[in-house]
Each structure stands twice: as structure tokens, then as C-alpha cells.
Amino acid sequence: MTAPTRNGAPEAPRDEQARDALALEEIELDLFVEALNRRYGYDFRDYSRASLARRVRNLVASLDVPTVSDLTARLLHAPERLPEVIAGLSVPVSEFFRDPHVFRALKEKVFPHLASYPHITIWQAGCAHGEEVYSLAILLSEAGLYERTRIFATDISKAAIDRAREGIYPLREAPDAARRYLAAGGTHSFSAYYHARYDLMKLDEQLISRVTFAEHNLVTDGVFCEAHLVLCRNVLIYFTTPLQDRVLARFAETLVRGGFLCVGTRENLEFSLTRSKFQLVDEGARIYRLKAGA
Ligand SMILES: C[S@@+](CC[C@H](N)C(=O)[O-])C[C@H]1O[C@@H](n2cnc3c(N)ncnc32)[C@H](O)[C@@H]1O
């Protein structure tokens, strides 16, 4: 029942107001996504809605605009704000040797196959600030494979790529990184791979030497190399199932026959249309191998 207000007019019940606000936000979000796509070609239409809405709300707060509609207007008229908006929509959270058992599985089950190639190509998609690609470079180097490897580390966000290329991180992250490095099967000391200065660590230049960082959008950009390993962790979770399927098909296309795909612990291929093209290599690390003839 609708409660009367002081002037006698009926007041909309709270849940009705909340429903109305949500419906309005949906429209604003649709218009924002449409504007981003039509004006700049960044297509977020197939991103999971709840997390996208959260990030857009954060952007509204951090850019200090009143509503999503104001954000859309600003974006349409100020192209120079685009990198900032894309950075705000991406979640560049990572850490060195994140989920160490995944790196251990790569080292034990994938590296021996990579070792049979004279030249190795790896595509790390969604590299964020670079912690993952440098972790991989360290293990490849310890396995004697780094010198013949070329790694493409890509991300949708230019701001993230720029940070990754610098290879500079807070020194306070080093102790945990060192623990995970050992759990991943590292054989030296993590401290051998960086120089500490004040409260920062700068990674050894050698680790950057075989890495090419580039902007690449998994939604709209195509295949650009033939890879022996594709590593894409904690990215597909932001996509709807049809978009995941499209991206996984692209990974299958990019892999050489018998190439490996690692999607990490939060994603799997079990319900994807491309599942039949792959055989499971390690369940815990979600490492798959492209079948011959796939
Ligand atoms: C949570 S981070 C994952 C970082 C790293 N792979 C890891 O697991 O630690 C997700 C990254 O995916 C990137 N990303 C999101 N959408 C993308 C897209 N369409 N194409 C390429 N990268 C994307 C984001 O910019 C972000 O840096």
C-alpha cells in the first residue's frame, strides 16, 4: 500500500523507487556502452553486466561527474579522456606468480614440450601491469628457454601496457612474490631479478628483452601470431558466455597444432563450443592442448 505524504500525495514505495533507479541506470549504461562503441570502436556490449556497471559507477565517482549520462557526454566530446576511461573499465589487478601451482604446472607439463621447438612464441593476453609475463619470463629463463622465446603481452588498456613496460613495482610486494616464486618451482632467489631503490623494485632489463608489449582488444582485434602457448587468466570472467566462445575460438586459431592454452583457475573450457578441439592437460591449472587436426 502507498503511504500518504505530509501534503496528502501518495509516496512511491521505496522498492518502487529503487526499481526505477535501476531501470534508469540500465538505460544510461546502454547509452554509455553504445557511445563508446560507435565513437571509438571499443565494444563492451558483451561484458558481464554487473561488474561493468560497478566499474562505470566507480568511474563516475573518480571523475567527479554527477551521472553516467554526464560521463557519456564528456567521453563523446573529449577523446583525450578515452585512455582514462578504458583504464577505469579494465581491472588490472595481478601479482607475481599469482596461483603458483599454475606456474608450476606450466613448468612441469608445458615447458618440456616447448623445449622441442627451436623458436617459441607465447601470447599472454590481458597482461595488466606485467607481473604475470615477468613471472613467466623468470621461469623460462631458469629452464634455459627464454633466449629462444618471443612473448607478446597484450592488453586493451594503454595505461596498463605503459606501466607493464616500465617493469617497476612497489618493493613491499617482494616478500610475498618471493614466497610464491618458490612455490611455483623457482630455483634461484626472486631478489636476483630486481634492483631495489627506495621503496620500488625495478625488474632486470634482461627479463624485458624478449617481451613485446602491445595494445590488443580481444573483442575486436584478430589473430596476429602463431603461438605455442596462449596464457589468458582472469580475463574471460568479465565476458558473457558468447563472447568467451568467440575469444576461445580465436585462441584455437592462433595456436600451432599441439599448442597449449592456459586459462587459469577461475575459468574453464568445459561449457564452451571450442572444448572438443582441446584435450585437458592439467585440471587444477586449467591447461589445455589443441588436438591434432582441430
Ligand atoms: C584481472 S586482470 C588479469 C591480469 C593477469 N592476467 C592475471 O591473471 O593476473 C584483467 C586484464 O584484462 C584486460 N582486459 C579486459 N578486457 C580486455 C579485452 N577486451 N582485451 C584485452 N584485454 C582485456 C584488463 O585491462 C586487465 O588488465
pLDDT single digits (tens) 258-280: 999 999 999 989 889 999 999 99
Give the domain-ending residue among 89, 116, 150. Answer: 89
DSSP state of 2: P
pLDDT number for residue 21: 86
Show the beta-strand stretches assigned E in the chain.
120-125, 149-155, 168-170, 194-197, 200-203, 211-215, 227-231, 255-262, 278-282, 287-290
pLDDT number for residue 3: 45
Give the domain-ending residue among 44, 68, 89. Answer: 89
Give residue 120 CA to ligand 1 midpoint distance, Å.
23
CA distance 70 to 192: 49
Cell, residue 176? 610475498
Same domain for 39 and 85? yes
Q: Do 136 and 103 form a contact (C-beta atoms < 8 A)?
A: yes
Q: What is the mean pLDDT of residues 85-96?
A: 94
Q: What is the mean pLDDT of residues 90-103?
A: 96
The structural domain count of the chain equals 2
CA distance 141 to 220: 33
The CATH number linked to 240 is 3.40.50.150
Give the pLDDT band of residue 287 (cuts 50, 70, 90): very high
Given the CA of residue 89, which atom of ligand 1 is nearest to it? 25
- Residue 252: give the domain boundaries: 100-167+206-290
pLDDT number for residue 157: 96
Q: What is the mean pLDDT of residues 218-235?
A: 97
Cell, residue 195? 634492483
CA distance 131 to 150: 17
Q: What is the mean pLDDT of residues 143-148?
A: 98
Tell me how far CA of residue 33 lies from CA of 30, 55, 77, 91, 240, in angstroms. 5, 12, 15, 17, 15
**Residue 294 above 60 pLDDT?**
yes
pLDDT number for residue 38: 97
Q: What is the mean pLDDT of residues 51-76?
A: 95
114-129 confidence digits (pLDDT tens): 999 999 999 999 999 9
Reading phi first (left if > 0) and then psi (alpha if -120 to 50, else beta), residue 141 is in: alpha
CA distance 209 to 25: 46
Same domain for 154 and 236? yes
CA distance 114 to 145: 8
Q: Is 160 in the pocket of ligand 1 (CB under 6 A)?
A: yes
Q: Measured in whole angstroms, how far is the alpha carbon of residue 23 from the centre of its chain?
A: 29
Give the pLDDT band of residue 160 (cuts 50, 70, 90): very high
Cell, residue 216? 590488443
**Residue 249 above 70 pLDDT?**
yes
Give the Cβ contact number of residue 232 at 10 Å.
22
Beta-sheet strand order (sheet of 194-197):
168-170, 200-203, 194-197
Q: Residue 186 domain-assigned?
A: no
Q: Best mutation site among 156, 213, 250 for ligand 1, i.e. most ligand atoms within 8 A of its Cβ?
A: 156
Q: Is 235 in the pocket of ligand 1 (CB under 6 A)?
A: yes
Q: Residue 37 domain-assigned?
A: yes
Q: Residue 201 domain-assigned?
A: no
Give the domain-ending residue among 89, 123, 138. Answer: 89
290 vs 13, higher pLDDT: 290
Give residue 101 CA to ligand 1 midpoint distance, Å.
20
Give the pLDDT band of residue 93 (cuts 50, 70, 90): very high
Q: What is the mean pLDDT of residues 148-174?
A: 97
- Read off φ and ψ for residue 17, nearest 5 degrees: -65, -40
Q: Is 219 in the pocket of ligand 1 (CB under 6 A)?
A: yes
Give the pLDDT band of residue 255 (cuts 50, 70, 90): very high
Give residue 232 CA to ligand 1 midpoint distance, Å.
8
3-state SS class at 98: coil
Q: Residue 1 domain-assigned?
A: no
3-state SS class at 122: strand
Residue nearest to atom 2 of ligand 1 (CA): 92
Q: Do 231 and 262 form a contact (C-beta atoms < 8 A)?
A: yes
Q: Residue 197 domain-assigned?
A: no
Q: What is the mean pLDDT of residues 156-171?
A: 97
Q: Residue 188 domain-assigned?
A: no
3-53 confidence digits (pLDDT tens): 444 455 556 678 899 899 889 999 999 999 999 999 999 999 999 999 999
Give the Cβ contact number of residue 207 at 10 Å.
21
pLDDT number for residue 275: 94
165-223 confidence digits (pLDDT tens): 999 999 999 999 999 999 999 999 999 999 999 999 999 999 999 999 999 999 999 99
DSSP state of 99: S
